[in-house]
Structure 1
């Protein structure tokens, strides 16, 4: 998880919580959205979920907002990383 530290420093993600990576880069729509929401529903509120994707998950953002999640997305040359957590 330490490889993501430079990305975390670009966000306001909580640093004192457990983190989990969900890699959905190879999945076609709507699987990235569905898997992310399923994982969040099955997790504790203190989890920080790190979604690795090949594009910004535009359809996920409103669903996260509706469910009370905070998120930030950082784009790199290789992937798009969206960090999701509850305040």
Structure 2
């Protein structure tokens, strides 16, 4: 059974756009990196992708920068949550 994790408040991520969630807390590397990049290629530019992970996605950050995305990461008790947007 999948658990719905609350989305934390972000300081810089847009709040007036559609959001899509990816929960990778239980997935080991490289699944979160691969699936996040694949999903970003599919969603419209106005969508904010919110990725839940068990750790900060350090290897994802440079790939996002290279592709022109902005991002913000917040740590909660349950997950490390990264908002990604254009």
Bigger RCO (CA 8 Å, 6+ sep)? 2
- Deviation string for 1:8-50 (max 9, x for gaps)? 2x42111110001100111111110000000000110000000
The corresponding residue for 2:79 is 79
Structure 1: gaps of 5 or more residues = none
> 2:36 & 2:47 partners in 1: Cα distance?
13
Secondary structure of residue in 1 paired with 2:63: helix
1:58 Cα deviation from its structure 2 partner:
0.3
RMSD: 1.3
Structure 2: gaps of 5 or more residues = none
> 2:57 & 2:79 partners in 1: Cα distance?
12
Give the structure with the higher percent helix. Answer: 1
Task: Please report the TM-score for the alignment, with normalisation by the length of structure 2.
Answer: 0.89
> 1:59 & 1:25 partners in 2: Cα distance?
16
Task: Please report the TM-score for the alignment, with normalisation by the length of structure 1.
Answer: 0.88
Paired residues in the alignment total 82
Q: After TM superposition, what 4+ stretches of structure 1 lie above 3 angstroms from structure 2?
A: none
